[in-house]
Amino acid sequence: MKRRATKTIPPTADALAILEGWSKDDPQMQAMVAEERSNAAVARQIYELRTARGLTQKQLAELIGTKQPVIARLEDADYEGHSLAMLYRIAASLGCSVSVTFVPRRSGRKNRTDKGLLPSVRRHESKERRRASGHIG
């Protein structure tokens, strides 16, 4: 019986690190992994700051004038709707500030910009392109 070739799974439990290893030759997949890593980092920071201050999701929601389910969504690594306005409100209520850094992509290609589109529109278009190409469900 002929065995089919399989990729070796790296010795890590970090799913995004595994995907990065498997998608080294796929710029679209690399961009998707970077976006997901960013979403997870924002969610983790909100959770860690909130719990370090000893606040429940409901208490934080009351501080910023929203409802608990909104905080739950913001702390979900899969959530893609983080707005700067909301992050500013959370930061102010937790005694922090927001810092945004633009980092060049790793690929050797020149970066293309979609002038005139808001970041949320570009993110939505990017998600739609990935969905159309079969990378997400």
DSSP code of residue 102:
-
Of the two residues 115 and 84, the one the predictor is more confident about is 84
**pLDDT of the residue at 38:** 85
Task: Give the domain ranges of the chain.
Answer: 25-99+114-132
Q: What is the mean pLDDT of residues 24-47?
A: 85
Note the pTM of the prediction, 2 decimals. Answer: 0.60
- Neighbour-count burial of 119, counting CB atoms closer than 10 A to its CB (0-12 exposed, 13-18 middle, 19+ buried): exposed
Number of H helices, E strands in the chain: 6, 0
pLDDT tens digits, one per residue of 67-112 = 999 999 999 988 888 899 999 999 999 999 999 888 786 654 444 4
Over the chain, what is the mean pLDDT? Answer: 76
Architecture of domain 25-99+114-132: Orthogonal Bundle (1.10)
Tokens 């690190």 sit on residue:
17
Predicted confidence (pLDDT) at residue 61 exceeds the cutoff of 70: yes
**pLDDT of the residue at 37:** 83
Predicted confidence (pLDDT) at residue 19 exceeds the cutoff of 80: no
